[in-house]
Amino acid sequence: MKAVGIVVEYNPFHNGHAYQVEQAKKETGADVVICVMSGNFLQRGEPAIVSKWTRAEMALAGGCDLVFELPFSFATSQADIFAKGAISILEATLCQYLSFGSEQGNIQPFLSTYHGLQKHEIEYNQLLKHYSKEGYSYPKAASLAFQQLQLAIDEEIVDLTKPNNILGFQYIKAIKQQNAKMEPTTIARKNAEFHDEDFNASTIASATSIRKKIFSQEQNIEETFKYMPRTSYDALHSYYKKYGVLHHWERYWPMLQYRLLSSSPAQLREIYEVEEGIEFRLIEASKTSTSFQSFMEAVKTKRYTWTRIQRICLYILIHVSKQSMSHIEEAEYLRLLGMSSKGRVYLNQHKGEFKLPLISKVSEKNRESLALDLKATRIYALAANSPQQQQLLKLDFSQPPIIYDKR
């Protein structure tokens, strides 16, 4: 059986995601779709709207066949680390192909860009250092350095100012660095841009715009129905009915504020990504802010992007130290969240060949490996209504991999 891998967050799973799954199978001729999905917290440093188990079920209902969790240490990190973890999992599960969405829609410019930057690595790093010293955020400095370098690469190259192109390029880089055997392919994003906050098309909308509509008190959630499969819509309703919450940062603001007000600058400096004195700015803003939104607006600067600050806040909330993240390279295990009947066949045929140990439930043997993910789950569950917090928390220990029958 041939497998195509995709890297996802599904926050929530919508029609654009369903299109990608369908096209990934169509363009590669794969028999199964294996997705690596972020857990309860995501790459932009925010909580997922519903738990990883509900989103895994959405994925299976939407056409995926195997869902593996991307561990917290990768899922909440910057693009290069995020990609390293995801590619190492897909390689370990014997994917022959990687499919990703991009604004570019053509794989060759990604490959040309990778080889071009390899050839001009010293020059690129010098430019990156130059723009960083001028006070630009890392993404902006990288974009400016790349723009300066374009003339030196005499081939069609990818536009690395676009968010999906940036991630796609990091996937290519990770494949090359890990000597992975999978063949990359890309699908042009349809209609909605990654961070679009408004509905611009008849049936395709970004996850950002869907979440905005869901969380808006002025709008009816029914308006989001046409932008996602019925299974996703039902899953959101069911989750809210059961746990009394759809997760977002405001639910965690009192906990974050407590962390900031009860920590010294020296203690905050031990937290991953806290550097350059931002701990003082965080503490001062926490004293007067009445919401997470007002706090973020007070802290954001030209150098620190909204996403980077959110990630720092997440690490403070979960209490993730620099030391605990110092060894991040590649994934060390495969945490299985769910499978379709076809995925189950693939698993039975190939799991003996998998390059990483397979974890289907928490045990004393693997608890240490899963420690950071389990801690993140404990914090994530605190947003739910009591006593549903305990029900949500226990899922990580009691929930076996979901077996989804498409019939």
Determine if residue 101 is labeled as part of a ligand binding site.
yes
Question: Rg of the chain's alpha carbons, rounded to an integer?
Answer: 21
| pLDDT at position 221 | 62
Each residue's pLDDT expressed in tens, for the chain with a length of 407 residues: 999 999 999 999 999 999 999 999 999 999 999 999 999 999 999 999 999 999 999 999 999 999 999 999 999 999 999 999 999 999 999 999 999 999 999 999 999 889 888 888 888 889 888 988 887 877 778 778 877 776 566 677 888 888 899 999 999 999 999 999 999 999 998 654 545 555 455 677 888 888 888 877 544 566 777 889 999 999 999 999 999 999 999 999 999 999 999 999 999 999 999 998 999 999 999 999 999 999 999 999 878 889 999 999 999 999 999 999 987 888 999 999 999 999 999 999 999 999 999 999 999 889 998 999 999 999 999 999 888 899 999 999 999 999 998 76
Is 319 annotated to bind a ligand? Reply is no
d(CA 355, CA 334): 9
Q: Is 220 annotated as a binding residue?
A: no
Residue of 28, 37, 35 whose CA lies nearest to 63:
35
Consult the annotation and say whether 254 binds a ligand. Answer: no
Fold of 3-103+187-247+330-404: Rossmann fold (3.40.50)
Cα–Cα dist 245/377, whole Å: 15
Neighbours of 42 (CB within 10 A): 22
Is 63 known as a binding-site position?
no
Determine how many CB atoms are found less than 10 A away from the CB of residue 378. Answer: 14
Q: Which helix (H) or strand (E) holds 236?
A: helix 230-243
Is 348 marked as a binding-site residue? Answer: no
How far apart CA 314 and CA 274 sit, in angstroms, is 11
The residue ranges of every structural domain in the chain are 3-103+187-247+330-404, 251-325
SS3 label, residue 403: strand
Confirm or deny that 10 is annotated as ligand binding. Answer: yes
CB 33 within 8 A of CB 342: no
Question: Is 200 known as a binding-site position?
Answer: no
For residue 306, what pLDDT is reported? 93
What's the pLDDT at 196? 54
Rounded Cα distance, 62 and 72, in Å: 24
Token duo for residue 199:
């509905």
Q: 130 labelled as ligand-binding?
A: no
Cα 210 to Cα 226: distance, rounded to the nearest angstrom:
10
Question: Phi/psi zone of residue 320: left (φ > 0), alpha (ψ -120 to 50 degrees), beta?
Answer: beta
CA angle 361, 362, 364 (to 5 degrees): 135
Assess contact for 136 and 78: CB atoms under 8 A. no
- Is 297 one of the annotated binding-site residues? no
Confidence at residue 214, expressed as pLDDT on a 0 to 100 scale: 80
Query: Is residue 24 within 8 Å of 184, Cβ to Cβ?
Result: no
pLDDT at 151: 56
12 is in an annotated binding site: yes
C-beta neighbour count of 404 within 10 angstroms: 21
189 is in an annotated binding site: yes
Is residue 16 part of an annotated ligand binding site?
A: yes
